[in-house]
Amino acid sequence: MLYMRRRQALVDLLAMSRFANLPTVWSNALLGGMLGLVFAKFDLLLDPLRFIQVFLSPSLLYLGGCFFNDWHDLDFDRKTRPDRPLPSGRWQRRTVFALAGGLMALGLILSFFLSLASGYCGLGIVGCILVYTRWHKRSLVSLLFMAGARVLIYPLAALAFLPLTSAQESIALFVFLALGMGGYILGISLSARGETASKAERRENILPVLLLISPAIIFSAPLLTLGYTFAVIPLIFFIALLALIVRQFRSTGQIGRFVSYTLAMIPFVDWLIMAPLAPSLPILLLPPILACLALFLQRIAPAT
Protein backbone atom coordinates (compact mmCIF):
# COMPACT_ATOMS: atom_id res chain seq x y z
CA MET A 1 0.00 0.00 0.00
CA LEU A 2 2.82 2.43 0.88
CA TYR A 3 4.53 1.65 -2.43
CA MET A 4 1.33 2.43 -4.35
CA ARG A 5 0.89 5.75 -2.57
CA ARG A 6 4.47 6.77 -3.28
CA ARG A 7 4.13 5.72 -6.89
CA GLN A 8 0.92 7.74 -7.26
CA ALA A 9 2.61 10.75 -5.65
CA LEU A 10 5.45 10.53 -8.15
CA VAL A 11 3.09 10.20 -11.11
CA ASP A 12 1.10 13.19 -9.80
CA LEU A 13 4.29 15.23 -9.50
CA LEU A 14 5.33 14.39 -13.05
CA ALA A 15 1.83 15.16 -14.34
CA MET A 16 1.72 18.58 -12.67
CA SER A 17 5.15 19.43 -14.05
CA ARG A 18 4.19 18.27 -17.59
CA PHE A 19 7.64 16.71 -17.72
CA ALA A 20 6.64 14.82 -20.87
CA ASN A 21 6.97 18.13 -22.74
CA LEU A 22 10.60 18.69 -21.69
CA PRO A 23 12.00 17.22 -24.94
CA THR A 24 10.15 19.97 -26.82
CA VAL A 25 11.84 22.59 -24.62
CA TRP A 26 15.22 20.98 -25.31
CA SER A 27 14.49 21.12 -29.02
CA ASN A 28 13.78 24.86 -28.82
CA ALA A 29 16.98 25.40 -26.82
CA LEU A 30 18.97 23.32 -29.29
CA LEU A 31 17.78 25.39 -32.25
CA GLY A 32 18.35 28.65 -30.39
CA GLY A 33 21.86 27.60 -29.38
CA MET A 34 22.68 26.53 -32.93
CA LEU A 35 21.51 29.88 -34.28
CA GLY A 36 23.67 31.69 -31.74
CA LEU A 37 26.70 29.67 -32.80
CA VAL A 38 25.95 30.24 -36.49
CA PHE A 39 25.73 34.02 -36.06
CA ALA A 40 28.89 33.92 -33.93
CA LYS A 41 30.49 31.97 -36.81
CA PHE A 42 31.41 29.21 -34.34
CA ASP A 43 34.22 31.48 -33.16
CA LEU A 44 33.78 30.30 -29.57
CA LEU A 45 35.32 27.83 -27.19
CA LEU A 46 32.51 25.29 -26.79
CA ASP A 47 32.02 24.95 -23.04
CA PRO A 48 30.04 21.80 -22.08
CA LEU A 49 28.84 23.48 -18.87
CA ARG A 50 27.35 26.34 -20.88
CA PHE A 51 25.49 23.86 -23.08
CA ILE A 52 24.06 22.18 -19.98
CA GLN A 53 22.87 25.55 -18.67
CA VAL A 54 21.28 26.37 -22.04
CA PHE A 55 19.08 23.29 -21.73
CA LEU A 56 18.59 23.42 -17.97
CA SER A 57 17.51 27.05 -17.57
CA PRO A 58 14.42 26.97 -19.86
CA SER A 59 13.58 23.48 -18.55
CA LEU A 60 13.39 24.75 -14.98
CA LEU A 61 11.36 27.78 -16.07
CA TYR A 62 8.94 25.50 -17.92
CA LEU A 63 8.51 23.07 -15.02
CA GLY A 64 8.04 25.92 -12.55
CA GLY A 65 5.47 27.55 -14.80
CA CYS A 66 3.46 24.33 -15.03
CA PHE A 67 3.44 23.92 -11.25
CA PHE A 68 2.38 27.55 -10.91
CA ASN A 69 -0.48 27.00 -13.35
CA ASP A 70 -1.83 24.09 -11.30
CA TRP A 71 -1.45 26.08 -8.09
CA HIS A 72 -3.39 29.00 -9.54
CA ASP A 73 -6.16 26.87 -11.09
CA LEU A 74 -7.06 24.95 -7.93
CA ASP A 75 -10.54 26.45 -7.57
CA PHE A 76 -11.34 25.84 -11.24
CA ASP A 77 -10.05 22.26 -11.06
CA ARG A 78 -12.18 21.57 -7.99
CA LYS A 79 -15.25 22.12 -10.16
CA THR A 80 -14.09 20.60 -13.44
CA ARG A 81 -11.31 18.10 -12.66
CA PRO A 82 -11.56 17.06 -8.99
CA ASP A 83 -9.41 14.00 -9.64
CA ARG A 84 -6.27 16.08 -10.23
CA PRO A 85 -3.52 15.99 -7.57
CA LEU A 86 -4.32 19.32 -5.88
CA PRO A 87 -8.15 19.25 -5.65
CA SER A 88 -8.04 15.59 -4.63
CA GLY A 89 -5.75 16.46 -1.72
CA ARG A 90 -2.93 14.15 -2.77
CA TRP A 91 -0.58 17.14 -2.89
CA GLN A 92 -0.66 20.27 -0.72
CA ARG A 93 -1.09 23.61 -2.44
CA ARG A 94 1.74 25.29 -0.50
CA THR A 95 4.13 22.51 -1.58
CA VAL A 96 3.28 23.03 -5.24
CA PHE A 97 3.67 26.80 -4.87
CA ALA A 98 7.12 26.30 -3.30
CA LEU A 99 8.12 24.02 -6.19
CA ALA A 100 6.87 26.59 -8.72
CA GLY A 101 8.71 29.49 -7.12
CA GLY A 102 11.91 27.55 -6.50
CA LEU A 103 12.16 26.12 -10.02
CA MET A 104 11.40 29.43 -11.74
CA ALA A 105 13.87 31.29 -9.50
CA LEU A 106 16.62 28.75 -10.20
CA GLY A 107 15.92 28.79 -13.94
CA LEU A 108 16.03 32.60 -13.96
CA ILE A 109 19.33 32.68 -12.04
CA LEU A 110 20.87 30.20 -14.48
CA SER A 111 19.72 32.32 -17.42
CA PHE A 112 21.60 35.33 -16.00
CA PHE A 113 24.69 33.16 -15.55
CA LEU A 114 24.54 32.48 -19.30
CA SER A 115 24.57 36.18 -20.14
CA LEU A 116 22.81 39.37 -19.17
CA ALA A 117 20.78 39.25 -22.40
CA SER A 118 19.75 35.64 -21.76
CA GLY A 119 18.70 36.70 -18.28
CA TYR A 120 16.42 39.37 -19.71
CA CYS A 121 14.84 36.69 -21.92
CA GLY A 122 14.39 34.56 -18.81
CA LEU A 123 12.65 37.48 -17.12
CA GLY A 124 10.41 37.76 -20.18
CA ILE A 125 9.52 34.07 -19.92
CA VAL A 126 8.63 34.44 -16.24
CA GLY A 127 6.53 37.52 -17.04
CA CYS A 128 4.67 35.66 -19.79
CA ILE A 129 4.03 32.73 -17.44
CA LEU A 130 2.60 35.00 -14.76
CA VAL A 131 0.35 36.94 -17.14
CA TYR A 132 -0.88 33.83 -18.94
CA THR A 133 -1.61 31.96 -15.72
CA ARG A 134 -3.50 34.93 -14.29
CA TRP A 135 -5.69 35.55 -17.35
CA HIS A 136 -5.92 32.35 -19.40
CA LYS A 137 -9.39 31.48 -18.10
CA ARG A 138 -10.66 34.98 -18.89
CA SER A 139 -9.22 36.22 -22.18
CA LEU A 140 -7.95 34.79 -25.46
CA VAL A 141 -5.30 37.52 -25.46
CA SER A 142 -3.52 35.55 -22.74
CA LEU A 143 -2.67 32.92 -25.36
CA LEU A 144 -0.20 35.38 -26.87
CA PHE A 145 1.73 35.31 -23.60
CA MET A 146 1.71 31.52 -23.55
CA ALA A 147 3.21 31.57 -27.04
CA GLY A 148 5.64 34.26 -25.89
CA ALA A 149 6.96 32.06 -23.09
CA ARG A 150 7.76 29.40 -25.68
CA VAL A 151 9.36 31.57 -28.38
CA LEU A 152 11.60 33.43 -25.91
CA ILE A 153 13.51 30.17 -25.40
CA TYR A 154 15.16 30.77 -28.79
CA PRO A 155 16.88 34.08 -27.96
CA LEU A 156 17.60 32.91 -24.40
CA ALA A 157 19.67 30.04 -25.82
CA ALA A 158 21.15 31.99 -28.74
CA LEU A 159 22.32 34.92 -26.61
CA ALA A 160 24.25 32.50 -24.41
CA PHE A 161 26.72 32.30 -27.31
CA LEU A 162 26.09 35.57 -29.12
CA PRO A 163 26.85 38.96 -27.53
CA LEU A 164 23.89 41.30 -27.57
CA THR A 165 25.97 43.91 -29.39
CA SER A 166 26.49 41.42 -32.25
CA ALA A 167 22.91 40.14 -32.36
CA GLN A 168 21.33 42.87 -34.48
CA GLU A 169 21.61 40.87 -37.69
CA SER A 170 19.70 37.99 -36.08
CA ILE A 171 16.69 40.05 -34.97
CA ALA A 172 14.75 39.41 -38.18
CA LEU A 173 15.30 35.66 -37.83
CA PHE A 174 13.99 35.66 -34.25
CA VAL A 175 10.93 37.55 -35.45
CA PHE A 176 10.32 34.79 -38.01
CA LEU A 177 10.80 32.16 -35.30
CA ALA A 178 8.31 33.98 -33.09
CA LEU A 179 5.75 34.16 -35.90
CA GLY A 180 6.13 30.51 -36.89
CA MET A 181 6.33 28.85 -33.48
CA GLY A 182 3.94 31.38 -31.95
CA GLY A 183 1.39 30.65 -34.66
CA TYR A 184 1.75 26.93 -34.08
CA ILE A 185 1.18 27.27 -30.31
CA LEU A 186 -1.84 29.49 -30.93
CA GLY A 187 -3.19 26.89 -33.35
CA ILE A 188 -3.00 24.22 -30.66
CA SER A 189 -4.65 26.48 -28.10
CA LEU A 190 -7.50 27.64 -30.34
CA SER A 191 -8.20 24.04 -31.40
CA ALA A 192 -8.33 23.03 -27.75
CA ARG A 193 -10.69 25.92 -26.96
CA GLY A 194 -13.09 24.50 -29.54
CA GLU A 195 -13.43 21.14 -27.77
CA THR A 196 -17.14 21.73 -27.17
CA ALA A 197 -17.85 22.46 -30.83
CA SER A 198 -19.62 19.96 -33.04
CA LYS A 199 -17.77 18.02 -35.74
CA ALA A 200 -19.26 20.29 -38.40
CA GLU A 201 -18.14 23.42 -36.57
CA ARG A 202 -14.63 22.01 -36.17
CA ARG A 203 -14.46 21.39 -39.92
CA GLU A 204 -15.65 24.91 -40.71
CA ASN A 205 -13.19 26.65 -38.39
CA ILE A 206 -10.03 26.77 -40.48
CA LEU A 207 -8.14 29.44 -38.47
CA PRO A 208 -6.54 26.95 -36.04
CA VAL A 209 -5.41 24.79 -38.97
CA LEU A 210 -3.91 27.80 -40.76
CA LEU A 211 -2.02 28.69 -37.59
CA LEU A 212 -0.80 25.13 -37.17
CA ILE A 213 0.69 25.10 -40.68
CA SER A 214 2.13 28.61 -40.38
CA PRO A 215 5.66 27.29 -39.63
CA ALA A 216 5.66 25.50 -42.99
CA ILE A 217 4.87 28.79 -44.73
CA ILE A 218 7.11 31.05 -42.63
CA PHE A 219 10.08 28.70 -42.25
CA SER A 220 10.19 26.31 -45.19
CA ALA A 221 9.02 28.54 -48.04
CA PRO A 222 11.91 31.06 -47.74
CA LEU A 223 14.47 28.25 -47.33
CA LEU A 224 13.26 26.46 -50.46
CA THR A 225 13.21 29.76 -52.36
CA LEU A 226 16.85 30.36 -51.35
CA GLY A 227 17.83 26.95 -52.72
CA TYR A 228 17.95 24.84 -49.54
CA THR A 229 16.36 21.85 -51.23
CA PHE A 230 17.07 19.61 -48.25
CA ALA A 231 14.44 21.62 -46.35
CA VAL A 232 11.76 19.70 -48.25
CA ILE A 233 12.39 16.54 -46.18
CA PRO A 234 11.34 17.94 -42.77
CA LEU A 235 8.54 19.83 -44.52
CA ILE A 236 7.04 16.58 -45.86
CA PHE A 237 7.24 14.94 -42.43
CA PHE A 238 5.70 17.97 -40.73
CA ILE A 239 2.75 18.30 -43.12
CA ALA A 240 2.05 14.55 -43.21
CA LEU A 241 2.07 14.12 -39.43
CA LEU A 242 0.05 17.25 -38.83
CA ALA A 243 -2.56 16.20 -41.38
CA LEU A 244 -2.98 12.84 -39.65
CA ILE A 245 -3.37 14.44 -36.22
CA VAL A 246 -5.83 17.12 -37.37
CA ARG A 247 -7.89 14.60 -39.31
CA GLN A 248 -8.17 12.32 -36.29
CA PHE A 249 -9.14 15.22 -34.02
CA ARG A 250 -11.84 16.52 -36.34
CA SER A 251 -13.37 13.06 -36.66
CA THR A 252 -13.15 11.98 -33.01
CA GLY A 253 -12.98 15.23 -31.02
CA GLN A 254 -10.47 13.69 -28.60
CA ILE A 255 -8.96 16.96 -27.44
CA GLY A 256 -6.52 15.47 -24.96
CA ARG A 257 -4.88 13.25 -27.54
CA PHE A 258 -4.81 16.08 -30.08
CA VAL A 259 -3.03 18.48 -27.71
CA SER A 260 -0.57 15.80 -26.59
CA TYR A 261 0.35 14.84 -30.15
CA THR A 262 0.70 18.39 -31.43
CA LEU A 263 2.85 19.33 -28.43
CA ALA A 264 5.08 16.34 -29.14
CA MET A 265 5.41 17.61 -32.72
CA ILE A 266 7.12 20.85 -31.64
CA PRO A 267 10.59 19.40 -32.44
CA PHE A 268 9.37 18.84 -36.00
CA VAL A 269 8.61 22.57 -36.16
CA ASP A 270 12.21 23.26 -35.10
CA TRP A 271 13.40 20.70 -37.63
CA LEU A 272 12.07 22.88 -40.47
CA ILE A 273 14.76 25.44 -39.63
CA MET A 274 17.39 23.16 -38.14
CA ALA A 275 17.76 20.78 -41.09
CA PRO A 276 19.69 23.23 -43.33
CA LEU A 277 21.85 24.37 -40.39
CA ALA A 278 22.78 21.04 -38.77
CA PRO A 279 26.56 20.54 -38.95
CA SER A 280 26.33 16.75 -38.63
CA LEU A 281 23.90 13.86 -39.11
CA PRO A 282 23.48 13.09 -35.36
CA ILE A 283 22.39 16.68 -34.67
CA LEU A 284 20.14 16.60 -37.74
CA LEU A 285 18.31 13.58 -36.33
CA LEU A 286 17.85 15.01 -32.84
CA PRO A 287 14.46 16.73 -33.41
CA PRO A 288 12.65 13.53 -34.55
CA ILE A 289 14.29 11.66 -31.66
CA LEU A 290 13.12 14.30 -29.19
CA ALA A 291 9.58 14.13 -30.61
CA CYS A 292 9.55 10.34 -30.13
CA LEU A 293 10.91 10.79 -26.60
CA ALA A 294 8.08 13.22 -25.81
CA LEU A 295 5.52 10.66 -26.98
CA PHE A 296 7.21 7.97 -24.87
CA LEU A 297 7.21 10.14 -21.73
CA GLN A 298 3.48 10.76 -22.23
CA ARG A 299 2.99 7.08 -21.38
CA ILE A 300 4.41 7.78 -17.93
CA ALA A 301 2.48 10.98 -17.20
CA PRO A 302 0.13 13.13 -19.31
CA ALA A 303 1.45 16.12 -21.22
CA THR A 304 -1.52 18.37 -20.35
CA–CA gap between residue 264 and residue 241 (Å, rounded): 11
All residue ranges of the chain with pLDDT < 70 are 1-2, 42-46, 164-169, 193-205, 279
The pLDDT value recorded for residue 168 is: 65
CA–CA gap between residue 26 and residue 298 (Å, rounded): 16
The CATH number for 171's domain is 1.10.600
Domain boundaries, position 155:
14-297
Please state the pTM of the whole predicted model. 0.91
The pLDDT value recorded for residue 276 is: 78
The residues near 274 (Cβ < 8 Å, ≥ 6 apart) are 30, 31, 34, 234, 283, 284, 286, 287
Q: Please count the structural domains in the chain.
A: 1
Long-range contacts of 134-143 (CB under 8 A, 24+ apart): 134/72, 137/73, 137/76, 140/190, 140/193, 143/185, 143/186, 143/189, 143/190
With helix as H, strand as E and coil as C, how does 254-293 read?
CHHHHHHHHHHCHHHHHHHHHHHHCCCHHHHCHHHHHHHH
61-106: pLDDT as tens digits: 999 999 999 999 888 888 888 888 898 888 999 999 999 999 999 9
Decide if 6 is inside a domain.
no
CA–CA gap between residue 152 and residue 63 (Å, rounded): 15
The pLDDT value recorded for residue 249 is: 79
The pLDDT value recorded for residue 28 is: 97
Are 12 and 85 in contact by the 8 Å Cβ rule? The answer is yes
The pLDDT value recorded for residue 303 is: 86
Decide if 209 is inside a domain.
yes
Decide if 102 is inside a domain.
yes
Burial class (CB in 10 A: 0-12, 13-18, 19+), 179: middle
C-alpha separations of 168 from 37, 159, 242 in Å:
14, 11, 34
Decide if 246 is inside a domain.
yes
The pLDDT value recorded for residue 197 is: 47
122-135: pLDDT as tens digits: 999 999 999 999 88
Decide if 1 is inside a domain.
no
